[in-house]
Structure 1
Amino acid sequence: MFTFNNIRYKDILEIEDLLIPVNKVTCIVGESGSGKTTLLRLLNKMISPDEGEIFFHDTPLTNIPAVDLRRRVVMLSQVPVIFPGTIEDNLQAGLSFSEKPLAEEQKLREALLLVHLNKDLAGEADKLSGGEKQRLCLARMMLMEPEVMLLDEPSGALDEDTEELIINSLVNFARDHNKTLIMVTHSKNVARQYAQQIIEVRSGKIIRQEEVAGNAGRN
């Protein structure tokens, strides 16, 4: 799906070659400051490399308009983006951006159930806690059903028990809908349990890339 050829970005990343497969769960691990988030941001043109080329389905990212790419490759950052208005407004916002029909109320409620967020659709989104906002953004992303979901520490604002519930829901959603899930995580436990491929970054370079047999989510 994504192929890196001789990528350099400032003094942060230097990647000669890298392949991220389609319809798999890939975890990017490494120490803080190693370049993990930078790698993720390259995948949907939030930033562009200084040298080299990145391909998406054999097409150079330079040939794909950023807005078109971001409708297919959606990123959720560590700090959740919450729009003014209700929980429903925030859930529908992703569909509006991706130019898809708005969802019926039942589908919105199902999305909230997937992320274990028991809230009224009419509630004000900015009144949610940090962890609740993160889960709302995850639900918005799943409603969009993009080809690729990019997650930067998706469980960073969650406690350990909630982390397992949410990550399991995300992985099963990706598996059931044939999506590609790529997430940066500090949690060795998350990578060990759910990754089908692990990419380890150290000082801006890939020091390990391996497939993990048997991981595809847990019911």
Structure 2
Amino acid sequence: MTTILQLEGLGKQLHPPDGPWLFRDFSASVAEPLIISILGKSGQGKSTLLRILGRLTAPDRGSMRLQGRDVSQWTPEAWRMTVSYVAQQPVMLPGSVEDNLRAAAFLHQRSFDLTQARQWMEQIGLDHLDWNSGAQQLSGGEKQRLALIRTLLLRPAVLLLDEVTSSLDSISKQATERLLVDLHAHSGTTILWVTHDWEEARTTSQQIWFMADGRLLEDADSRTFFDSPRTEEARAFLRSSHLLAESLEGIR
């Protein structure tokens, strides 16, 4: 079976050519469809890694292969249709809610799946929206979910998610998580998901990429990572995450 995604020695400098490295020597492969959570403290380059994988930012070192073909063998457009990125801060295109939903189909000359769009909008609690209303007038959480559906309608093989549930209330967050887990289960979509919510990672992901000290320190299945992390850095990260979660629960 052809490897879905292969990364060899990826690196990004803060100020090339002589500046410090944000991360380097990042090597990993995705041999089968998985949901992979990318964890680590802020400042490790997790979002930058996603932007590199989406060909929105160029690496300063290393190579990428998608479905057995080097990145140089793909046009940027074909790559981005196959590996699609959803940003933490969603950008609404000018026009209405419907204009935004139809944008991907229009740009890539595909038919628009109205039935699927309505189903997904309902599933994540956006069925109340007037499709003729301006997308710019939506709340932050509504924009985030609309941007996600807009990208899902491309039906990418690999989905890159940058903290897409961080601005959502608990009900919307759970509905979005269910949609993504269902999508993976039924269509075999590979999902690379940057999150600071360790509980979200534990319940949705099969694999964990843990970044620390400018490197990929752990690449492990989720149960192994959360039950018996290999490195002290990962153990310290999980301890601090547990303490933070407990303190937030106490505030509530």
**Length-normalised TM-score, structure 2:** 0.80
- Does residue 112 of structure 1 match 2:112? no
Equivalent residue for 2:189, pick from 153, 176, 179: 179
Residues 152 and 183 of structure 1 are in contact (CA less than 8 Å); yes or no, is this contact kept in structure 2? yes
Residue 186 (structure 1) shift? 0.5
Residue 110 (structure 1) shift? 1.4
Q: Higher mean Cα deviation, 95-104 or 81-90?
A: 95-104
Q: Distance in 2 between matches of 1:42 and 1:21?
A: 19
Counterpart position of 1:4: 7
Distance change >3 Å, CA 21–CA 99, structure 1 → 2: farther
**Number of equivalenced pairs:** 212
Residue 45 (structure 1) shift? 1.1
Counterpart position of 1:40: 50
Give the counterpart letter for 1:134 in structure 2: Q
Residues 4 and 15 of structure 1 are in contact (CA less than 8 Å); yes or no, is this contact kept in structure 2? no
Counterpart position of 2:67: 57
Deviations along 1:98-117, whole A, 9 cap, x unmatched? 3211233x333212112211
**Length-normalised TM-score, structure 1:** 0.91
- Does residue 166 of structure 1 match 2:176? yes
Counterpart position of 1:25: 35
Runs (5+) with no aligned partner, structure 1? 214-219
Give the counterpart letter for 1:108 in structure 2: A
Residue 16 (structure 1) shift? 4.6
Give the counterpart letter for 1:3 in structure 2: Q
Distance change >3 Å, CA 208–CA 86, structure 1 → 2: same
Q: Distance in 1 between matches of 2:116 and 2:203?
A: 29
The 3-state SS of whatever aligns with 1:144 is: coil
Residue 191 (structure 1) shift? 0.6
Counterpart position of 1:216: none
Deviations along 1:16-57, whole A, 9 cap, x unmatched? 521134321011011011111111111121112222211112
Residues 40 and 196 of structure 2 are in contact (CA less than 8 Å); yes or no, is this contact kept in structure 1? yes
Give the counterpart letter for 1:110 in structure 2: Q
* Residue identity (%): 29
Counterpart position of 2:137: 127
Counterpart position of 1:194: 204
Deviations along 1:161-204, whole A, 9 cap, x unmatched? 32122111112112211111111000001110011110001132
Counterpart position of 1:13: 23
Q: Distance in 1 between matches of 2:217 and 2:200?
A: 19
The 3-state SS of whatever aligns with 2:153 is: helix
Runs (5+) with no aligned partner, structure 2? 14-20, 224-252
Residues 42 and 49 of structure 1 are in contact (CA less than 8 Å); yes or no, is this contact kept in structure 2? yes
Supply the RMSD in Å over aligned alpha carbons.
1.5
Residues 25 and 62 of structure 2 are in contact (CA less than 8 Å); yes or no, is this contact kept in structure 1? no
Residues 83 and 159 of structure 2 are in contact (CA less than 8 Å); yes or no, is this contact kept in structure 1? yes
Residues 74 and 149 of structure 1 are in contact (CA less than 8 Å); yes or no, is this contact kept in structure 2? yes
Q: Distance in 2 between matches of 1:124 and 1:82?
A: 9
Residue 95 (structure 1) shift? 1.5
Structure number with greater CO (CA < 8 Å, separation at least 6) is 1
Residues 158 and 190 of structure 2 are in contact (CA less than 8 Å); yes or no, is this contact kept in structure 1? yes
Give the counterpart letter for 1:111 in structure 2: W
Give the counterpart letter for 2:122 in structure 1: L
Q: Distance in 1 between matches of 2:102 and 2:145?
A: 15
